[in-house]
Structure 1
Amino acid sequence: MSRRLRSDHGSASLEFITTGMILLVPLVYLVLAMSVLQGGALAVEGAARQAARVYVRAPSEAVAAERAQRAVDFALADYGLPAGDAQVSIDCAAAAGGCLKRRTAVTVTVRLRVSLPLVPDVLGLAGTASVPLESNATQTVSRFWQPGTGP
């Protein structure tokens, strides 16, 4: 009986399973976290690009701002991200007269915090366990643009 207890027979599989789980769980979480962050980065970049394109083709500034916000909401929803959490800012190089002037560069910046996966919302940890993402895109208003015209 004492010889059986001292025997190493069968312990290699137990060691392999234990070591495998210790290494596999963090690796799987790393893959999940990186995929969530990559999806968020692609969503923010696409949202900024589409919002800038829509903005420079609009007939007026009011319509342009509304269409840009709608483009951001749609792009983020396409990736399953909450659109209401995004901050959109529109900046232009025009000195006066608004952003929609011929050959004016319009820059749209989209900021969003993406939460890491599997973080419980205990004690507000979901807010601190998030990564801020930001992207900007610049488009130029066409030299043929006229107020009140556009798609």
Structure 2
Amino acid sequence: MSRARPRRRHPRSDRGSALVEVTWLGILLLVPMLWIVLSVFEVQRGAFGVGAAARSAARAYALAPTDSEGARQADLVARQALADQGLGEAPLEVRVTCTPYPSDCHSGTSVITVRIESRVDLPLMPEVLGGQAPTFALDATHTVPIGQYQEVTGAAEAE
């Protein structure tokens, strides 16, 4: 009578599993880190654009001959400044305030303050997660004083 030997099972080796674990861990950490870096770059680009838009809009408003023309020029220049940063489609709101003469910004010693508000969409985030792509709100303010001495048209001709 011969006895059949039971088959021995060899224990599985863990050899090579560290490489697989490190690869998966790297992928799981790399993807969120990549998203964070791209989002920071997008927000920084928006911050540069909004800051440039505020400076340009305030200068354009101050150099315009009237308040209505200044408002039109400020809006155009702010949109161009955002477009220069690649944010031409970003929403934009331009607010102009003046002190001490709120009704006439181009008189005497007025100080013009322009506030720009916009936002940037954060990249690579599917709209499925929240219904809308996540955004980051941005704003910037720039103040320009109007000089006490201004050129008066027609003054040279009167003499």
* Residues 1:137 and 2:132 aligned together: no
Structure-1-length-normalised TM-score: 0.86
Between structure 1 and structure 2, the one with the greater Rg is 2
Question: Residues 17-57 of structure 1: CA distance to partner in whole angstroms, max 9, x if unpaired?
Answer: 11111111111110000000111111111100110011111
Asked whether the 8 Å contact 2:101–2:107 carries over to 1, the reply is: no
Aligned length: 146
Q: Which of 92, 100, 105 matches 2:98? A: 92
1:111 & 1:134 partners in 2: Cα distance?
4
2:59 to 53, 77, 81: 53
Once the two structures are superposed, residues 67-93 of structure 1 have per-residue CA deviations (whole angstroms, 9 ceiling, x without a partner) of 111110100101111356101100000
**Distance (whole Å) between structure 2 residues aligned to residue 7 and residue 91 of structure 1:** 74
Partner AA of 1:7 in structure 2: S
Q: List alignment gaps of at least 5 residues for structure 2.
A: 1-7, 155-159
Match of 1:15 among 5, 21, 25: 21
CA, structure 1 residues 83+75, in 2 after alignment: closer, same or farther (shift >3 Å)? farther
User: How far apart are the structure 2 equivalents of 1:147 and 1:86?
Assistant: 34
- The equivalences for 1:55-134 within 5 A come to 55-82=61-88, 85-95=91-101, 97-122=103-128, 124-126=131-133, 129-134=134-139
8 A Cα contact 2:96 2:114, kept in partner: yes
Compute the RMSD of aligned alpha carbons. 2.2
Gaps (5+ residues) in structure 1?
none
Greater relative contact order, per chain length (Cα 8 Å cut-off, separation 6+): 1
* Structure number with higher helix proportion: 1
Contact 1:56 1:142 in 2 (8 A): no
Q: Are the equivalent residues in 1 in contact too, given 2:101–2:110 (CA < 8 A)?
A: no
The residue that corresponds to 2:43 in the other structure is 37
Aligned-residue sequence identity (percent) comes to 35
In the TM superposition, residue 115 of structure 1 has moved relative to its aligned partner by: 1.2
